[in-house]
Each structure stands twice: as C-alpha cells, then as structure tokens.
Amino acid sequence: MTLIACLHTEAILRLDALIEGSRSVTVAAHTHPDGDALGSVSALVCYLRQRRGKDAVAVLSDSPAPSVRTIIPDGAPFLFQDREPEECLARIAGSDLLFLLDCNGFSRTEGLQEAFEASPAPKVLIDHHLNPEREGFTLVFSTPEISSASELLHWILRELPDIGGNVRKFPPETARALLTGMTTDTNNFANSVYPSTFRMASDLLEAGVDRDAVLSALYNQYRENRVRAMGFLQYEDMRITPEGLAYMIATRAVRERFDLEDGETEGLVNVPLSIERVKMSILLKEETDHYRVSIRSKKGWSAQRVAAERFHGGGHENASGGKLFWPGDIPAPEDAAAYLERISRECLS
Ligand code: 5GP
Ligand code: MN
C-alpha cells in the first residue's frame, strides 16, 4: 500500500475516535528497540499526553542500549519488562487502547506478546515492515514505501483533526523524536529515503526542531571503545566470500575485550556495502544460545529473503535481521562461519 492510500480519511477518523474514546493507552514497539522504535514510541506517547490528555505509557520488552537511551524525552513514562515485569503486564491488561509501532506483529515484542494478544482492547498497528500481521489489529497503518515508522507516524499525526496539517502544533518532544527516529532508520538520509522523507524533515525543521542537537546526541556521544571495536572487526575479523558476502562475528570474546555494550555495533553492518564487490553484509552478535543477526544488501539482493529463509527473521528488502541458534541451526557457535559461507554459495551465486 502507498503512503497516500494508507492515510485515507476514514482510517484517520477511526484512529481519532479510538484515541478520543480511550483513557489509558499503552504504546509498544519491537524487542531490542532501535532509534526508530524509541523515536516513534516517544513521539506518540508525548502527543497522546500533551495534546489529548491521555494516560499514555510506553511498554517495551527490554531497556534500550545506552547509545539510543537519550532518545527518550525527559519525563516520558516508559516501562521495560526486563526491569519491571509485573508493571508491564498489569499496564497492558489495564489499558483500553494499544498501539504497536515499528514492527509487523506482536510476535516481535517477545515476552509481552501473550499479554497483548490476551487484551480485548482495540489495537492499532503503525509500521513500515513487510508482511504486517493484520488479523490481530483493529486498525492497521502499514506501508513499506516509507523511511521509517517515525515518518509514517508523522504523516498520521499531521492528518489528525487537532493538528490539521500544522506540525507546529506537535509537542516539541514529539517533533524532535520523529526527526530522530527517521534519522536513525535512514542512517542519516543514506537509505530508504523518499520524497516524503525530505518533506517531513523540512516540516519539522521549520517547526523548530534543532537538527544539530539531534545529530550530536546520536552520532557524537559514542564511547572510544566502540570506535576501536568497529576498527578491529573491520580490520581483523571481516571476511569476504568469492560470491560477495561480507561477514563479521562479534563473539563474546570480542565483546568482552572491548567491553562492548548492547547496541554499540549499530551501523557497523552497513560499512562493508561500500566495497565494490560486496553484495550483502551480515553481522553476528553472540548471545547465550544464539547470535543476533543483522543483514544489509545492495539493490538486487534480498536481505529480507535471507533473514526469513535462514535466520527465522525478516524486516525490509535491503535491511533485515533474525537469529541463528545452536544447537538448532548450527552445532556450536564456532560453526557460524561455515553456515555463512554456505548461505553465500547458495544465495549469492
Ligand atoms: P537491525 O539489523 O538494525 O537489528 O534490524 C534491521 C531490520 O530487521 C529492522 O527493521 C528490524 O526490525 C528487522 N529485524 C531485526 N531482527 C529481526 C528479527 O529477529 N525478526 C524480524 N522479523 N525482523 C527483525
Ligand atoms: Mn523502523
């Protein structure tokens, strides 16, 4: 569906009525929230509280990595299941409207899935991934032809009667969080940028968002270790197969050596795509019984297919993710390279 079709008047008015009729609203996004998940959720929570007077709270399965934590505006109420499991479940059960942002279904909320599915409250999906799980939702806004969930949310909020096309009416926290989420998902205007994306950015800058502050918070506050680990992985670890798959494996040992925190490898998987003969790039991050997998590809090669067929995952055509388990998929963590070499031969030849 195109963005224009997604924003048809009837859907916008239904959304407005759902918000109007609600009191306690929970806003969620995918597990291991990235900048777009945190940006879109923050933006919506602040809008619902400040413009609509709702008791809106964000609920996520796990607390964000330090590198993206600052995206959450001061004072915005967020609950994390890894810190406050009981409160999260009670909050979902007690809400009369639920939003899910930046993922295609409740299965991507991991430990919160059951609570969301059990709730009789109306559910609204706002997402830009492929294959939305429409059945579980009262209202779905979904298009892959957009930069980010934050951008889609921007266009939806803009259409709501109380905003009436004037983004200066967005609470400042909402405007800033939307620009931040879009900036991270496009890798600062490098990928998945559409004409609508520039229009959104232009609107938000005119409305007063300080882009320099957004960029500084996102890209100038890393720890030294992160930059050194990125260098190490590119220099010592990266392999490129004859077929053009570049892969890096952030093993537990590498993470310990550089004292790497969750989220600090964000962006690394994009780097090998700058090499001429590389068609696809895969980054593995070791967890207890699996690797978390990030995949990026050049046009003509489907990261989404590889994620779905080989890593129990999904995402977008050229940016996807998933998991690689042992002993289910590979006998032991050391066998990951052989698994990747086989994917290279079978999917990129
Ligand atoms: P990243 O590599 O930045 O973690 O994720 C890239 C894209 O793939 C994101 O849009 C993300 O939502 C999606 N993605 C990452 N991991 C998974 C997963 O385990 N399952 C699915 N379905 N999508 C994923
Ligand atoms: Mn996103």
State the closest ligand 1 atom to the C-alpha of 311, by its place in the atom list counted from 1: 19
Pocket test for ligand 1, best of 30, 101, 109, 281 (most atoms within 8 A of CB): 30
Residue 305 C-alpha to ligand 1 middle, in angstroms?
12
Name residue, tokens 């390279």: 337
Nearest C-alpha neighbor of 285 from the set 241, 308, 251 = 251
Distance of CA 332 to the CA centre of its chain: 29
CA distance 91 to 180: 27
Name residue, tokens 């030294």: 224
Say what the pLDDT of residue 1 is.
Answer: 84
Distance of CA 106 to the CA centre of its chain: 14
CB 157 within 8 A of CB 8: no
Say what the pLDDT of residue 5 is.
Answer: 86
Say what the pLDDT of residue 66 is.
Answer: 87
Say what the pLDDT of residue 262 is.
Answer: 85
CB < 8 Å & 24+ apart, contacts of 312-315? 314/104, 314/129, 314/130, 314/131, 315/129, 315/130
Say what the pLDDT of residue 67 is.
Answer: 86
Residue 25 C-alpha to ligand 1 middle, in angstroms?
25
For 173, 226, 256, the CA distances from 233, given in Å and listed in that order, are 36, 11, 13
Whether the pTM exceeds 0.85: the reply is yes
Residues with CB under 6 A from ligand 1: 30, 34, 103, 108, 129, 294, 313-316, 319-323
For 71, 288, 332, the CA distances from 256, given in Å and listed in that order, are 26, 14, 19
State the closest ligand 1 atom to the C-alpha of 107, by its place in the atom list counted from 1: 22
DSSP readout, 247-264? EEEE-HHHHHHTTPPTTT
Residue 10 C-alpha to ligand 1 middle, in angstroms?
31
Residue spans of the chain under pLDDT 50: none
State the closest ligand 1 atom to the C-alpha of 283, by its place in the atom list counted from 1: 2
Give the pLDDT confidence of 24-72 residue by residue, as tens digits: 999 999 999 999 999 999 999 999 999 999 999 999 999 999 889 999 9
Distance of CA 225 to the CA centre of its chain: 24
Which residue's CA is the closest to the ligand 1 atom numbered 12? 315
Residue 217 C-alpha to ligand 1 middle, in angstroms?
23
Domains recognised in the chain with CATH numbers: 3-219 (3.90.1640.10), 224-347 (3.10.310.30)
